[in-house]
Structures are given as structure tokens and as C-alpha cells.
Amino acid sequence: MCSGRVDLQFILRALMNNMDGVFIGGCRLGECNYTTQGNYYALGLVNICRKLFQKIGLNPERLEIRFMSSAEGILFVKVVKDFIHKIRELGPLGESEGLSQDLLNLKLQALAKLVPYIRLVERERLRVPEKSEAAYREFFAREDVDRLIDELIVEKLNLSEIMLLLGHGPLSTAELSERLGEKPSEVLHHLSTLSRQGLVRFDLEQKKFAAI
């Protein structure tokens, strides 16, 4: 399968099925058999995903992509062994980062719900015009790209987490703050956004927010 066929959903599904890391192998850059040069798409996806890992508190080193030819079997074995060794050193997913299993599951589920939207953002705002490894490295190191990811994706990720929690029943700001590990002021900001969008309401009797 071409590495360009790898989707963010595949990566998240692996983590939600108790994998501690994900390795993607692709053809050497510039040597793709297809005009689409799917390995560059995979490189961009990994860069975005690693940044999102950081945003939800996961070590980005748990995701790796390497490029090599089908004739480099010895290199492939070495690279995979090195990755396995690194993941073993990092330890179990979430536990090593100080995330409870419930919070880890919530963050991964919230991210998974945004996959179609993230695909759109990648295509419209985060696609690197020049096909070279240096161009990708430079693009994703830019501060304005980090800000763009915060504005376009991370904000929606926070809203997605709250909606998932409220899907199980009404919660107060304090309860949401505790479960999300965020300041009450930040939670209130997100709740205000969701309220304007007509997605949540405040229950005066319970003094809690509920999904509509």
C-alpha cells in the first residue's frame, strides 16, 4: 500500500487499540511510482499528527515515518528495531505522559471525530507547495503554522472533548475543568462558544451545562 494512503484515522485507531506507537514506511522521496507523490502527503500528515500529539499531551516520538527502497531490507530491519526500542523506553501510551486512561481515550476520541475536518484544513491551509524534505521541515517549524493549527484545529478539539463528556450527562464547569485538566476560565470560554453555536445550554435547576 502506498504511504499516501495512510490516513490519520488509521493512526488514531492503532492508538485506541492499545498500540504504544505507530511506524510508517514509505518509498524514498522523489522516487514515488505514482504522479501523486503520496509519500510527501504522508510526510505532511505525520508532521501535523505529531503536532497534534503534543497538543493533547502525547509524546510526538510515538509516531515515526521513514523512507527507503524495497531493496533496503537490512536498513528496514534496523529502523524498525530502533523504533521498537524507542517505544519501549517511552513506556505505555498515556501512562508515561501522565494521562489517565479515561482522559487519554477522551482526547483520542475527540481527535478522531475531527478527522474529516482536519483533512480539509490540511488540503486548504497546511499543504506544502514545494515537494522537498527541506521545504516540509521548514514549513512545519514555522511559528505561524503552529498558530494556525491552534486556531483551526486545537480550538475545535477542545470543543469536541466537552461535547463528548456532555454526551454522558450534564456537568458543571468545575466538573468539566477537573475531567479535562483545564482551568475553569478556559472551560467557560469553550462553553460560551458552544452555547453561541446552539450546541449546549445551561440547566438552571441543576446549575450544570447540558448538550442540546
The residue extents of the domains of the chain are 3-153, 167-212
**Grid coordinates belonging to 22:** 505507530
| pTM, entire model | 0.91
Judge whether residue 110 has pLDDT over 90. yes
> Rounded to an integer, what distance in angstroms lies between the CA atom of residue 85 and that of residue 83?
5
Q: Residue 203, SS3? A: strand
Q: What is the mean pLDDT of the chain?
A: 94
pLDDT digits (tens, 9 = 90+) for 54-68: 999 999 999 999 999
Question: For 122-128, what is the mean pLDDT?
Answer: 95
What is the structure's pLDDT at 30? 84
> What is the pLDDT at residue 5?
86
Cα(93)–Cα(144) distance, integer angstroms: 29
Task: Report d(CA 191, CA 37) in Å as an integer.
Answer: 42
Q: How many residues does the chain have?
A: 212
137-179 pLDDT, tens digit per residue, is 999 999 999 999 999 999 999 999 999 999 999 999 999 999 9
Regarding the domain delimited by 167-212, which CATH topology (the fold level of the hierarchy) does it fall under? Answer: Arc Repressor Mutant, subunit A (1.10.10)
Q: How confident is the model at residue 197 (pLDDT cuts 50, 70, 90)?
A: very high
Phi (first) and psi of residue 171, to 5 degrees: -140, 150
